[in-house]
Amino acid sequence: MTTANVKAFVFDVFGTVVDWRSGVAREAAAFLQRHGRSAQDADAFADAWRARYQPAMQRVRSGERPFMKLDTLHRENLEEVLSEFGIDRAQVPAAELDELNLAWHRLDPWPDSVEGLTRLKSRHIIAPLSNGNVKLMIDMAKHGGLPWDAILGAEVAQAYKPTPEAYLRTLDVLMLSRAEVCMVAAHNSDLAAAQKCGLRTAFIPRLQEHGAAQTTDLKPDGNWDWVARDLVDLAKQHNV
């Protein structure tokens, strides 16, 4: 497949560019210990928090709730996870929860992410097309050195992926045609939604996103335009 026409790469971020599970677990471990729980539950805590991500966005996608920032949904979900782990919400200062909620702003990139993005940026526009809100993406980029050209995604589009408007409004902001924009993700479902909107697609496996026992997205299961080992390999496939 020719690479000549791709002018912008837009990226899923949680799982594709950064390792959300380790980052959230790291901060959850300290939190759990402060509240008399075992740091060993930190991975489970991260998984439980993430498990509430899609259902919370679904209430926005369905129109049950207006669009709101992912930070707000994360913060609500955190309170529910506390109950799940038997921690009394009333015993935890709100400021401490606000701070733990920022764990999502401090996630580390995968080892290849900064080099891969930097190479792709040399000849293309690169931007997140994440469900994370703009401030979350700014803080994360400053934390990890992600060299985005712009911060796009759900908050700018006012729609959560995989709603078509999330992709289509991003095309409108970029003033590019569908075939000039490539969605990059470690999640087949995200690519399927992008492809349905006419975008080009690139799959990157992230086999440790959910830890060692991961069972999903182990391989591409669609007709994606590119499949690469990681973001550096994707850059090489595009001759940068």
Catalog residues that contact a second copy under the rule CB under 8 A.
69, 71, 125, 133-135, 137-138, 141-142, 148-152, 155-156, 173-175
Both structure tokens of 143? 């934390």
Q: Give the nearer residue to a second copy in terms of CB position, either 153 or 162.
A: 153
| Concatenated DSSP letters of 60-122 | HHTTSS----HHHHHHHHHHHHHHHTT--GGGS-HHHHHHHHGGGGGPPBPTTHHHHHHHHHT
Angle at which helix 134-144 crosses helix 70-84, to 10 degrees, equals 80
The dihedrals phi and psi of 234, each to the nearest 5 degrees, come to -60, -45
Q: What are residue 201's DSSP bridge partners?
A: 183
Question: What's the longest Cα–Cα distance across the chain?
Answer: 58
Any idea what DSSP says for residue 14? B
Q: Nearest approach, Cβ of 11 to a second copy (angstroms)?
A: 15
Cis peptide bond N-terminal to 111, omega within 30: no
Q: Give the nearer residue to a second copy in terms of CB position, either 125 or 228.
A: 125
Q: Nearest approach, Cβ of 65 to a second copy (angstroms)?
A: 17
Q: Nearest approach, Cβ of 60 to a second copy (angstroms)?
A: 17
Q: Nearest approach, Cβ of 169 to a second copy (angstroms)?
A: 11
Q: Give the nearer residue to a second copy in terms of CB position, either 43 or 180.
A: 180
Q: Give the nearer residue to a second copy in terms of CB position, either 17 or 134.
A: 134
Q: Give the nearer residue to a second copy in terms of CB position, either 141 or 204.
A: 141
Q: What is the rounded CA–CA span in Å between residue 182 and residue 240?
A: 15
Both structure tokens of 73? 């949904």
Q: Give the nearer residue to a second copy in terms of CB position, either 173 or 207.
A: 173
Task: Answer for the pair 64, 81: CB distance below 8 angstroms, yes or no.
Answer: no
Distance of CA 45 to the CA centre of its chain: 18
Q: Nearest approach, Cβ of 133 to a second copy (angstroms)?
A: 8
Other beta carbons within 10 Å of 217: 23
Distance of CA 148 to the CA centre of its chain: 14
Q: Nearest approach, Cβ of 134 to a second copy (angstroms)?
A: 5
Q: Give the nearer residue to a second copy in terms of CB position, either 147 or 211.
A: 147
